[in-house]
Structure 1
Amino acid sequence: KNAAEIEGSVQAHLRDGAAVVETLAWLDGQRPGSVTETQVVEKLEGFRRQDPALRDISFETIAGTGPNGAIMHYRVTEETDATLQAGHLLVLDSGGQYLDGTTDITRTVAIGEPPAEACRAFTRVLAGMIAMSRLRWPAGLAGQHIEAVGRMPLWLAGQDFDHGLGHGVGAYLSVHEGPQRLSKLSKIPLEPGMILSNEPGYYREGAFGIRIENLLVVEPAPSLPDGDAHRKMLNWRTLSFAPIDRGLILPEMLDPAALAWLNAYHAEVAEKIGPRLSHGAKLWLDTATAPIGAA
């Protein structure tokens, strides 16, 4: 992507993030058992369509609760439309096609009090997402060389997921755009300007699903005091801004660097998205992005 396309994507993600946060704030105010998957989809798409730059959603919105969330590419139908029950998780994967950019973001939220095993798995998924977001790597590496970083916390617990860690994304084009991917199969070197998703997950059949997704753009990494002057390094800049559900996070499972990243990210969400929200959603966001301390 050239500089204009990247800046367009930055701006599209800010407006898109406001629509996502408005939806999350609305959802948090609903009583468990009172809302269906279809109603969540309609509410989110309604907030997105308030933006005149939106041309369409970038793919059919995924809203899967409870066992439906464990189906990786679930699409709600009249027959499967489930009610969000207490103790369930909701996987909400969606995006928009705006004149200035394409978005794709996933958040997993707890409905009522989540099961302990779901919180443990969620925190592992989050740790992998953060590890990839913080990564810097030597220029010339492909997705296959680095995607394990996002899986390691799950691997250490004997867990994994059966989809790629990330895909390329277009600029008001395909939401899945190659050739770059974060995949065991991808041999395409990552280059500055490429936009990819970072979306580790975990799926317990018949119980719950988890996925956390941000879009990232590859950039040249700044030099470090002890770094090799001759070695070109790359890193990521995050494009997506929406809070990660604090009710599913076990802080004691995150190392200090991961907690610091999360708190800095949430502070950026509050700064960038807060001014774009309705009054009620802004108050909700202030609580949703409050710093998390070590346990």
Structure 2
Amino acid sequence: MSNSNFVDYVKICCRTGKGGAGSAYLHRDKLTMTGGPQGGDGGRGGHIILKGNRNIWTLLHLKYRKHVIAKPGEPGGKSRSTGKTGEDIILDVPLGTVAKHAETGEVLFEITEHDEEVVLLEGGRGGLGNWHFKSSTAQTPRFAQPGEEGKEEWMILELKVLADVGLVGYPNAGKSTLLSVVSAAKPEIANYPFTTLVPNLGIVDYHDYKSFIMADIPGIIEGAHEGKGIGHRFLRHIERNAALLFMIPVDSDDIREEYDVLLNELKQFNPELLDKRRHLAITKIDMLDDDLIKELDDELKEKLPSDLTYTYISSVSGKGIPALKDALWEIIND
């Protein structure tokens, strides 16, 4: 998934179809010059519908489609025949897409299932034919109802990546390297901060043909919840992960302090993120020998929260990777 092709936010103008007008037809045949009302109802205007598609991962196909316009319904006919419904516009979106009203910011719904269809904006209702208005005092009404106007609204579509495990850490903490080692994903990797500018997904193989999805989220910096760095663009993706893997390099100045900063950024953005299961991976462990690792472990047992599990890993040497997979699998399936 290349950076240029990953789009997780689009703003589109949606215009639904106008409803067809009802018919004011009066029945006529060889024996009847002016019969009773027989005008049919107008057809409904076209809806704009979002449909979940598990085979697409980005909103790229909607990036340059700024206007989405559905067709109007057709007018009613004689013999109470209803006009044809306007053609609906169905937009395929990846799972995890959230629809919002652009003006109010109101969250309308979220698409989470394959083939799930939800109406984003309804088309206008068709007008009623004249036969609906027949009464004891108006036997032959010569009027019908016009169709309802369609709606026009600006909508925002935001993608929140769906994954079992989301990687959380400072820029250059080794998240992309880990993802490239445990899966077939090929994220961009370099020795400088903010190499990753968009989420990358990888499928991690486990024992007995089992697997889980891991998401490499762009790195957090202090103040990210206020929009600093890449800010809210990446934090919303963490909301859709079942578990969080915090990654802190072994050469960090203070592992506990760095963990607390990361945790605080999640809390400030959305306190519910603290309810997710967490595991800590202490990375780049190949930099230390066994004696230093033991000394560090004794220190961490005193400083880290007692309920926080952690694993030492090296994505370069592969040390600790099987144990990390075991820990994550247990957390996901707990």
**Could you say which structure has the higher strand fraction?**
2
Structure with larger Rg? 2
Superposition TM-score, scaled by structure 1 size: 0.28
Q: Which has the higher contact order (CA 8 A, sep 6+)?
A: 1
**Could you say which structure has the higher helix fraction?**
1
Superposition TM-score, scaled by structure 2 size: 0.26
